[in-house]
Structure 1
Amino acid sequence: MTNPYRVEALALHQVGVFDDVAIDFKPIAVADKAEIHLFTGPNGCGKSTLLYALAEIFDTVNYNINNGLIQRRYRGAESRVDFLFNGRAGQYGVPHTDSNNSSRYGKCHILYSDSTKDCFFGSESPDTGLIQYKQMTGDFQSHNPHPLSPAKFKHVAFAYSGQRTLRDTQLPGIQEITNSPFEEALSFDGSVRPQILLQWIANNRTQSALAKADKDDKAAQSYDQALNRITTLIHDICGLEVEFRLERSPLAVTVKVNGDTIRFDGLPDGLKSIISWVADLSLRLEAIPWQTPGDPFAQPIILFLDEVDIHLHPKWQRRILPAIQTLLPNAQVFVSTHSPFVVGSVENAWVYRLPEAGQGNGSIEGVPSGAGKSYRLILDEVFGIDDEFDVATEALFDEFYRLRESFLQQPHSPQALLETAAKLAARGEEAALIVNRELRQIARLSGQELGLA
């Protein structure tokens, strides 16, 4: 990962469930692979709040593109977020009269204020570039950039959730997409725009076909590249052969999955979710004028993913982050997840286990990701789960071990112990093996003959 434009640290004060919390995001120097940071923890611990706070760093100046996702989590007049980006300190939050303007990470000058958000934005120095980025993304129109100062982007930031938002929509025809690539770019649930996404696929297929008709193979290959990246990613994650097609009558975009033609409404939820955000990201990256020309997928990207594994089978959960690491080699990616399969899938990543709500004070240290560890160990170390069976079976084991200790301390009728053992044995072969082993041990210690009928 060689992206110099990275978030280095974040601190929240009186925001969401956090009184005061700080996280340092250590770099991960791995060639040709994205830098991954994973937030895990119980429901309500603040995973989404952290993602919203990070996304707000890049929100536009001119309008509230992420609909105040973090502002709605301010708890009072002292609420603020400090951050360190690209070596520069910054701060935003509820306006205050502190003339010192010091963030946790350095001195800030007030460079921007937006009363509609009830927040201010500061940075250590006007040449940070972040204010310029926020203004550029707010002003930019993909079909009509300002002729005297054409926008050129050094880095970009996008945010997605795991919602399966893709659906069939009517295509009016083949027409130019005039929407800005930064429209709703940090809104998470609203980032995927189904109408625009299907229009982009239709345009792509049309342009590729026209280029092939003109025997311009180089141009056709260029048009095919973005969709080929998507289908390759889907194959790597899902093991499915996918092809995007433009049907002529009626005009519609369909998907071939392992040879079967399916409309978007009929796609499995997990596949629909992956196509939704990956294809939307692709069309945005393709529409951006980059300061350094080249592969748009290899540009410096900051990506926020809120539970993108939510509709995925565990087999797909194990594959999604390694595929993203390869697809976006110069990205910094922040991910929230409840899945041990996601945490255990990727090496060279940092995992931040968030505490229960109300306990989120102080610094949260990242630990190396779980690649090479068993899922049993990841459940214990990362998720704090040391149970091995379902809740009902675990309750029976608790009762069995309580009765065992009582019987060994003062031998008496083993009827209750044996009845519980029988219930456990009936729940499955593994539980039966454990119970029979325990009964043999109890028999040796007590001198009584114990066994299941």
Structure 2
Amino acid sequence: MKHLAIDTPVMSEAEGTVLLDELELHLHPLWKKRIVTKLRELFPRVRFVITTHDPLCLRGLAPDESYVFRLNPASEEIEATALSILPGMDVDDLLTGGWFGLGTTYDEETEDMINELSVLSLREDALKVRGDAILPEHERVQMEKLSQDLRDRLRGFAASEGERQTLADVARRGLAAPDVLEVEAETLQARLRQAFGRLEE
């Protein structure tokens, strides 16, 4: 503001380009959600180029204003990919989407439980597709225990479409198991919902 005031003391009339690295530093989460909108209001004629590692700071961006920069190991060049922020996206959608690349936001122990249950669920589906026998008793008991433990641990687990998609993605990685056949995404999601006791009417 001191620099912009050299040309005009009225910030609503100031013009220029401002580079801000790590916008999220030292900001309360509430401020992070509001910072982009407030910068627009206070400096309507200033162009901001901002970097951040915090999904809350993506609030207030227009659909065509978000880019992800990554190093391409093959070419050793930085590549920019435009990824639009859509209204209504929650923080988990952003963290597990293309912006930050996380597979899930759960803690490692919970993620391991989800992975284990997903692999067992896929194995059960594969046996049904082949017409083979059901899962061995010890694996069925393990599935029931994992399902109950996750229901107790995570109230409302897999209640949203975003969470179901994350679960499906985790489960698809389990398809690498040698004795599991690939199944359709809808079948996968239905099986996972059933495993968590959230089978829809």
Q: 1:432 to 1:397 in 2, by over 3 A?
A: same
Structure 2 stretches lacking a partner, 5+ long: 128-133, 165-191
Q: Distance in 2 between matches of 1:372 and 1:333?
A: 21
Deviation of 1:309 after TM superposition, in Å, equals 1.2
1:316 aligns with 2:31: yes
Q: Distance in 2 between matches of 1:422 and 1:353?
A: 38
Whose Rg is larger?
Answer: 1
CA deviations 1:330-371 (Å, max 9, x no partner) are 212111111222223222652121225736526524344x25
Deviation of 1:392 after TM superposition, in Å, equals 2.4
| AA partner of residue 335 (structure 1) | I
| Aligned counterpart in structure 2 of residue 339 of structure 1, from 41, 44, 54 | 54
What TM-score does the superposition give when structure 2 sets the normalisation length?
Answer: 0.62
How many pairs does the alignment contain?
Answer: 156
Structure that is richer in strand per residue: 1
Q: Distance in 2 between matches of 1:407 and 1:371?
A: 37
Q: 1:294 to 1:348 in 2, by over 3 A?
A: farther
What TM-score does the superposition give when structure 1 sets the normalisation length?
Answer: 0.30
Q: Distance in 1 between matches of 2:82 and 2:158?
A: 39
Deviation of 1:399 after TM superposition, in Å, equals 0.4
Query: Cα RMSD (Å) of the superposition?
Result: 3.3
Q: Report the equivalent of 1:412.
A: 136
Q: 1:303 to 1:348 in 2, by over 3 A?
A: farther
1:32-71 aligned within 5 A: none
Q: Secondary structure at the match of 2:31?
A: helix
1:115-154 aligned within 5 A: none
Q: 1:357 to 1:316 in 2, by over 3 A?
A: farther
1:8-27 aligned within 5 A: none
| AA partner of residue 285 (structure 1) | L
Q: Distance in 2 between matches of 1:428 and 1:323?
A: 35
1:285 aligns with 2:7: no
Deviation of 1:441 after TM superposition, in Å, equals 9.0
Q: Distance in 1 between matches of 2:63 and 2:196?
A: 45
| AA partner of residue 82 (structure 2) | G
| AA partner of residue 66 (structure 2) | V
Q: Report the equivalent of 1:398.
A: 115
Q: Distance in 2 between matches of 1:304 and 1:297?
A: 18
Q: 1:352 to 1:406 in 2, by over 3 A?
A: same
Runs ≥4 in structure 1, deviation > 6 angstroms? 432-436
Preserved CA contact (<8 Å) 1:425 1:432: no
| AA partner of residue 22 (structure 2) | E
Higher relative contact order (CA 8 A, sep 6+): 1
Preserved CA contact (<8 Å) 1:343 1:371: no
1:437 aligns with 2:154: no
Q: 1:407 to 1:366 in 2, by over 3 A?
A: closer
| Aligned counterpart in structure 1 of residue 151 of structure 2, from 425, 428, 441 | 425
Structure 1 stretches lacking a partner, 5+ long: 1-281, 443-453
